Amino acid sequence: MIIETVKKVNNEFGNFANIYLVNSIYNVPKDEANTDYQNILEWVADGNTIQEAD
């Protein structure tokens, strides 16, 4: 997966659901063993910014 955008996902109570929506399609859990989450961390380390939830 080539990451273009990352946005936080909130739960029904308006709190961060520990899910990141990547490229408006991929629901990536905040799990350090998830390789897509690892890639998000690298993407942020490269200077990119995660968008806040709607």
Interface with other proteins (CB under 8 A): 1-2, 9, 11-12, 17-19, 21-22, 24-29, 31, 33-36
- Cβ proximity to other proteins, 14 vs 47, nearer residue: 14
Give the C-alpha separation, 33 to 49, whole Å: 21
CA angle 5, 7, 13 (to 5 degrees): 165
- Cβ proximity to other proteins, 18 vs 48, nearer residue: 18
- Cβ proximity to other proteins, 11 vs 51, nearer residue: 11
CA angle 1, 43, 25 (to 5 degrees): 40
